[in-house]
Structure 1
Amino acid sequence: MALTRCNYCGYAYDEWNGDTRNGVPSGIPMAKLAGTVCSRCGLQGVRHERQPSPKYEGDEAEYYEQFAGKAGIDFYRNWLETSAKPVRALELGVGTGRLAAELAPRTERYCGVDWSPRMLKTAETKRKRLFKSEAEERLQLVETDALDFCSEAAFTHALCPDGFLQHYTLMEEHVALLRNLHRSLEDGGHVAVDVHLPPAGAGWQTRQRKQLQPNKWVSRRLEGETSLSRQLFRCTIDYETYVDGAMASRYRVEREFALITPKEAALLLASAGFEATRAVWNFGLVEPWPTAVPFGINRTTDGLGEAETIKEAIAAGKDVLPYRPYIWGNGGYPLASAIPGEAPDAPATVTLIARKL
């Protein structure tokens, strides 16, 4: 995160917020504060350490699956089922086992890595229920930072779901993590990396509400800001629990994520020894913007010749899209139909599939 702390005097500084007590405006890098603000350390030397993102705890861990839902499960299940040989899968950021519980029964071996004990406790409960006496053999759960994970076994598939790569905000961390994955995969193995694109604009907010029991609700509100110059986006996330219409509890956490485009993700994968072969928007629910697709992938259909009709192309064995009349029905008086447009500033999840070279 952009939060640093001195292990000598304890002075903490957050670049996003500055330091109002000492008259430092927001957005000032810590390096510019050297020799000012703190008389004990002068903000110089190696004692100032970047603070890691907070672990998923409290209500954030408890209600994680309520808001993540089933996103990506069908996509990843279909991806693993296309493998021509038995699957040995590695998932970084396994969390509560939301994906692992659905995918592990379809694999020969599944390993999930996470550093949040609260999330892994939920995953452990699912593991015992699913596999009983074979739990540790079929679904291995490892509590560690993904950057420190090392496995002697070789996996056929690796997953970085739910924007896991973006929890690390420095480029050297991205490269180190992907190289770690490269070492963990067998030759020709595949990796899938989810990249979250936040809403456009300097400031944005979203809100969702879920019913837990007839008289109990939980609301999650995100207030975020995106910085192009820092290539980061930051969220303040509030979980509010209501019982019989009255607030019973509130949990707040701040998170910071790397802002990575699909093209940048493809280049990062290439730097770590992978070749991106496919890019999928929102797990296949929408088509990608052509300007955002990395070069050389997603060429799934053939083009028509200069004087060739669709019927002639299909008869010649070409893979072209057939003509679909009347498929678009937007418009109408006095209201447009329920089919929404794909706004260019809407948030999206891009999944890049890559092969180990």
Structure 2
Amino acid sequence: MAAVQQYPGMCCPCPSSDVDVWISQLKKKQALEYQQLENLCSKVKEVLTEESNVVEVSSPVTVCGDLHGQFYDLMELFTIVGEPPETNYLFMGDYVDRGYYSVQVVSLLLAMKLRYPQRVTLLRGNHECRLTTQVYGFYDECYATYQSCDAWKCFMSVFDCLPLTALIDDVILCMHGGLSPSLESIDQIRVLDRFQELPHEGPMSDLLWSDPDDSGWRVGWRDNARGAGFMWGSDVSHDFTYSNNLAFVSRAHQVQDAGYNWYHDGKVITIFSAPNYCYRVGNLAGYMTVEDGTHTCYTFEAAPRDASDTHSKNLTPYFC
């Protein structure tokens, strides 16, 4: 009988050998059967619901931004940096939509989270919700893969459980989008009710939608052209990091030509990990390693795609 790996918060965990088979299959770009996927989603929800809105993460850890279904580039990242459990990862959301293999990308990350719950941290992005995935490709991909919307519903139930933020070594606060005028402290994030569809407005929405303003408007808050969240100035970043004893805030959510970029005098970093976004933007991908009180940023180029990959999606520009 296969040995059973006991994961935090799991009453009836899957045998680790089963999860290893799923991971091996997904790394070959092969989607799981629906019953396997349903089992995966059910079990990983048990793990995620035990986590706080602010996941406490200890270094060493590699921090990554948007992936957007770019399977080959995720595998390139694992080739360069290493895979769990040898390497610890913190992913800041937006696993799906836009790319060709969102089902495989998010399934692989969920399987890795189930297999190595203390080595993989998954945060929620603004694309991990029902409305956005029905517009930007994930719903259609789920339907094409499984011939029904049941798989998409399974994924959505998992997305409702994803944590909102993570705190690395008590000094780096990570989220997908950014800060909120409704949140002055990390403790206020801890008490939010995250187990729901992403609201259109409010602090939970802001954490997944907001952007730092570095265009010259450097004071306070203003409306975001995205139609959700806010733009915030450098004064907000300085005040928030000072009052919460933070070194800086790490977030994703915006394409960066160089893979990453610092804002607000080094109080905010944006990391984007989908190189050549939408297979045509030409940007580098970025990631950040944190270890022994230091942080270092790296970049990598888009991975070569399989010659047999003949997708011809009409990808409308969308830089969220």
Fold match (TM-score > 0.5):
no
TM-score relative to the length of structure 1: 0.29
- The structure whose residues are more often helix, as a share, is 2
Larger C-alpha radius of gyration, 1 or 2? Answer: 1
- Greater relative contact order (Cα 8 A, min sep 6): structure 1 or 2? 2
Give 1 or 2: higher strand fraction.
Answer: 1
TM-score (norm 2): 0.32
